[in-house]
Amino acid sequence: RTQDRHHKRPKQRHQPRATTNMPQFLCCACIDAADYGIVQECGKFKSIIQPGCSVVLWPIASVASVSMRTTQLNVNTNTKTKDNVTVAVQTAIMYQVDPEMVNTFYFKLHNPQQQISAYVDDCIRSQIPLMTLDEAFEAKEKLATVVKQQVADSMKQFGVQVINALMTDMQPDETVMRAMNKINAAKRDREAAVEKAEGDKILAVKQAEAEAEAKHLSGMGTAKMRHAITDGFRGSIESMKESCGLEPHDVVHMMLVTQYLDVLKEFAQSGKATMVVPHGPSAVADIENQVRSGFMQASMMAPAGKNSMG
């Protein structure tokens, strides 16, 4: 009996083998068109399933989906330029999972966005400190290309494909921005002042040319007027010399007196003009002598004219 007991105990220990067989079911796993499925059996990677409906053995097998969509990650990096200006750089990284390395991406990366951000920060902080602020603004395209290349090379081993990298924003410190705006405003004001001065110069030159042309034309008109007056005087003197026998200086004197009286007549008729008459002890006598002399010469011309006619 003792031997029988010893033989029965091992049989009782092997009985739980029959009870460990758990019920298993075939279940359908539906994978979205933009995802891939990771199949694990008892925690071990088994296969990758394509989008659609697949059958798995539950509960031994489990399915996890991995998105194959292109994802955008915005990374904000604070750094300093070569001329000691603090700037905040925003970089947009577009990435997706490599279809050939879905299992690597799923099992080796815990937080892909955090890891990509670290690579971007490292690249930005190694490039911008070598440039001044103006050079950094001018080299945005070049910096974006460098970031894309370095991040793509670093994340390729984890099954991540970098589609594109864009440097979407670069903001210096607020005080630097105000200073830059003042510099630009001063530059624009200086350019505006230069343009205004050039305009004033052109206007002054054109005005001077117009005045010179006007004076030239006025001088020509005055010359022609004086020439006509001289011709008129010459004709009058010759006519009176032939008809009255007066000397040229007598004729000129008489004509001046006549014009003087005509001017006085026009002043009297207008009623609005003001005439300044020389005033002094001899002023009246001078005017009287001039008028008397004119009348005397006129009276002498009358008999001479009658004798010539007779």
The pLDDT of residue 3 is 42
At 92, the amino acid letter reads A
Q: What is the pLDDT of residue 149?
A: 92
Task: Please state, in angstroms and as integers, the Cα–Cα distance from residue 46 to each residue in 30, 42, 55, 65, 229, following that order.
Answer: 17, 10, 13, 14, 124
Q: How confident is the model at residue 5, as a pLDDT?
A: 43
pLDDT tens digit string along 97-147?
988 888 888 888 888 999 999 999 999 999 999 988 888 888 889 999 999
pLDDT at 199 > cutoff 80 = yes
Contact 39, 61 (CB under 8 A): yes
User: Residue 76 pLDDT more than 90?
Assistant: yes
Task: Give the range among 21-25, 83-87, 131-135, 224-228 with minimum mean pLDDT.
Answer: 21-25
Predicted TM-score of the model (pTM) = 0.52
Q: How far apart are CA 242 and CA 70, in angstroms?
A: 118
Nearest partner of 66 among 50, 43, 44, 46, judged by Cα: 50
> Rounded to an integer, what distance in angstroms lies between the CA atom of residue 89 and that of residue 94?
16
196-200 average pLDDT score: 88
Per-residue pLDDT, averaged over 214-243, amounts to 78
Q: What percent of the chain has pLDDT over 90?
A: 16
Residue owning tokens 């220990």 = 13
Return the pLDDT at 163: 92
Length of the chain: 310
On the question of pLDDT at 265 being above 60, the answer is yes
Residue 300: band (very low, low, confident or very high) from pLDDT cuts 50, 70, 90: low
pLDDT (tens digit per residue) in 148-176: 999 999 999 999 999 999 998 888 888 87
Residue 65 host element (H or E): strand 61-67
Dihedral in degrees, nearest 10, Cα atoms 177, 178, 182, 187? 10
Name the amino acid, one letter, at 279. H
Q: Taking 50 as the threshold, does the pLDDT of residue 7 lie above it?
A: no
Nearest to 115 by CA among 93, 99, 146, 141: 93
pLDDT at 77 over 60: yes
Of 57-66, 207-216, 283-292, the one with minimum mean pLDDT is 283-292
Among 71, 238, 98, residue whose Cα is nearest residue 156: 98
CA angle (166 as vertex; 163, 172 as ends), nearest 5: 155
